[in-house]
Amino acid sequence: MFEIFLGILTAFGGFVDIGDLVANSETGARFGMRLAWVVVVGVIGIVIFAEMAGRVATMSKRPVFDIVRERLGARWAFVNLGASFFINLLTVAAEIGGLALVIELVTGLNYLLWVPLLGIAVWIVLWKLRFSLMEKVFGLSGLTLIVTLFALWRLDPGLHRTVQTVGFAPPASEGWAVYAFFAIALLGAAMTPYEVFFFSSGAVEDHWTPKDLMVNRLNVYLGFPLGGILSLAIMGAAAVVFEPHGVSLSHLSQVTLPVSLAFGKIGLVLLLYGMFAAIFSAALETALSAGYTMSQFFGWQWGTFVKPREAARFHLVVLASVVVGILIALTTIDPILITEYSIVLAAAALPLTYLPILIVANDPMYMKDKVNSRPLNAIAFVFFVLLVIVSVATIPLMIITKAGA
Amino acid sequence: MRLADLIDSRIVDADGRDIGRVGDVWLIQNGPPIGVFGAALTVDALVIGRFGLASRAGYEREGVRGPAPIAWYLRRRTAHRQVVRWSDVLAIEEGRIRLRLREGDLGRPSIEDVRTTGRRVSAGLELLDRQLVDPDGMMAGKVDDLAIELKDGGAPPVVTEILAGPGALARRIGGTPGAWLASVDARLRGGSRDPAAISFGVVARIDDHVTLTVSREEVATFGFEEWVRDHVIEKIPGS
């Protein structure tokens, strides 16, 4: 019982990362709650995707990229590997850069100074700690982000002003193309592929059996929506503070402003602690995901459940991706910008990973009697169509809107 | 010959007409004994069509149903494909297979229809791209390709080896990325361009992965892993 509760809280605390922090704050400031529905759609999407991936991994012991390779074949899986790996590197860089920005806020020293130190810290934790332990420690610490929820309530008691801006169309000051572009960014932030690589590989590492499927469902069905509520609170807080003044966000310090306004220093400390923990755990997950995707494509031994010397190439890829992430972050390209690109491209690449999982989740050869139910298939198919549309629209929208500028 | 070369070969019927490509190969376990695997897999039939997502999704099998629109679309493209039994093959040429029959004489059975004698395996669906696992549960590469030995006198070809590693994969990826992968692999393996081969005689089982009876350290794909382990990972404290 306690284990289940812990799992839900871990999924909750681990839901938010730099992508959600940036995308939700940014859209809240520019669009009020007019894009809030996308967060709801995105959470439903990641719940469906992660539950299927977890169930496939439990029943067949095959994590996501194994399935991608089997179903897409050498050529398309290689294309997917290229895209996923590149986006994942950007995400590693964004998370490390985000961590450094948090420390810059605390210390006042330039973030570039912190990038190498934090990158190395991420790698040491990966090298030394077991998957399940680090997941719990950082996931639970990330729960202090709940302070945002209270801040929103304090700034806007009864949520009257927040609810006022809820809608399905852009405000008068913004066009439809920009609105659609940020919708994709929010979807990409909620449905980041690395979460699924990580989640399904974790199910194999922890030796889940069909008995654990119920726990899988509870974690996903409760933990992720709670994380979604947190994302909405971040959006709402930014909407209440910034939207009326037409301020657009360009720095992480602005993300923290609503909480500072509501609770002063104590609130800020809690928020920064939560942000650090949440982004740190995301940095761990993305670095591991680099190893998972590459190893599972080529069939190398992977995982943190064996000693590093027994999964040498896996650990080499993890190490290399942290190093490259540090180097990208050190280019002085704004980490916020890297984050924006990583989530938008992540949304565009989703169908290539989602489709194989959807197909295999229906295949009794892997799933025995645990294939998708009809209602689940109906929703899952609607999401597949949605993801394909998003994928086709992303690059044109990126060009038309100059990436939302 | 490699499975990848067989798949994608053009098929020409008795009238000299090109009737499509090989989209999948059905194997049957009735060949000469090969190690612990028992009877070897031999080529029983060639399926005409494209070796794409549709044939890899496996919707032509019984019991694979959802989601309905995807199942409907992919099944329409794979069900009732024409099937060439190996006994109807006249000759194998470079990238081309000649038949004794006319196109109109070919049947359209499903793999279940012919699943009567001996174990049948759809090479594209159940063997290619599967994970190799050793007796200790350690991962040992993928089934990147299969080596097939042609026999004289029209006897069915026998699957003799699993080809694993980037060298075997490169040909299937093709184009510039494939050439690049092949040259990286050749450099890592001291210039050898022959892909790493694992005898089918050490295969214990084929289910949702392929289980070997020998440790991964004894198969040819282990070289790169070993190099990385000895030269990088073991140099780091705490490995």
Which pLDDT score, from 0 to 100, does residue B116 have? Answer: 59
Q: How far apart are the first and last CA of chain A?
A: 48
Prediction ipTM score? 0.93
**Residue B79 corresponds to which tokens in the numbers above?**
């069900």
Distance CA A401, CA A182 (A): 10
High-pLDDT (> 90) share of chain B, %: 34
User: 3-state DSSP call for residue B199?
Assistant: strand
Average pLDDT over residues B20-29: 91
Give start and end residues of each alpha helix (H) in chain B: 3-6, 53-57, 68-78, 111-114, 166-173, 175-188, 222-231
Please name the member of A127, A128, A313 whose beta carbon is closest to the beta carbon of B228: A313
Which pLDDT score, from 0 to 100, does residue B115 have? Answer: 57
User: 3-state DSSP call for residue A104?
Assistant: helix
A356-404 tens-digit pLDDT: 999 999 999 889 899 999 999 999 999 999 999 999 999 999 999 988 7
B171-204 tens-digit pLDDT: 888 889 889 988 888 887 777 777 888 999 999 9
Average pLDDT over residues A1-15: 79
- Given a contact cutoff of 8 angstroms between Cβ atoms, the answer to whether A351 and A72 are in contact is no
Average pLDDT over residues A191-216: 89
Nearest-CA distance B138 → chain A (Å): 6
A106-159 tens-digit pLDDT: 999 999 999 999 999 999 998 887 767 777 888 888 889 999 999 999 998 888
ω before A63 within 30° of 0 (cis)? no
Which pLDDT score, from 0 to 100, does residue B194 have? Answer: 79
Dihedral (C-alpha) A243, A249, A254, A255: value to the nearest 10 degrees?
A: 80
Q: Do B67 and A363 touch (CB under 8 A)?
A: no
- Cα angle at B221 between B217 and B224, to 5 degrees? 90
Distance CA A233, CA A39 (A): 11
Is the pLDDT score of A237 beyond 70? yes
Nearest-CA distance A294 → chain B (Å): 12
Which pLDDT score, from 0 to 100, does residue A64 have? Answer: 93
Q: Do B239 and A359 touch (CB under 8 A)?
A: no
Q: Provide the pairing of β-strand B145-149 with B158-164.
A: antiparallel
pTM value surpassing 0.90: yes
Please name the member of B56, B139, B236 whose beta carbon is closest to the beta carbon of A299: B139
**Which residues 6+ apart lie within 8 Å of B197 measured at CB?**
B147, B161, B162, B163, B164, B220
Name the pLDDT band for A34 (thresholds 50, 70, 90). very high
Name the pLDDT band for B42 (thresholds 50, 70, 90). very high
Distance CA B2, CA A58 (A): 33
Nearest CA in chain B to A125: B238
Please name the member of B66, B141, B233 whose beta carbon is closest to the beta carbon of A377: B66
Distance CA B199, CA B220 (A): 10
Q: Do A372 and B53 touch (CB under 8 A)?
A: no
Considering only CB atoms, which chain B residues are within 8 Å of A299?
131-132, 139-142, 164, 221
Amino acid at A57: A
Give the sign of the dihedral formed by CA B152, CA B157, CA B162, CA B164.
positive
Q: Is A315 on the interface with B (CB under 8 A)?
A: yes
Mean pLDDT rounded to a whole number for chain A: 91
Distance CA B156, CA B43 (A): 6
Average pLDDT over residues A260-269: 93
For residue A74, the surrounding DSSP H or E stretch is helix A64-107
Nearest CA in chain B to A82: B177
Considering only CB atoms, which chain A residues are within 8 Å of B182?
none
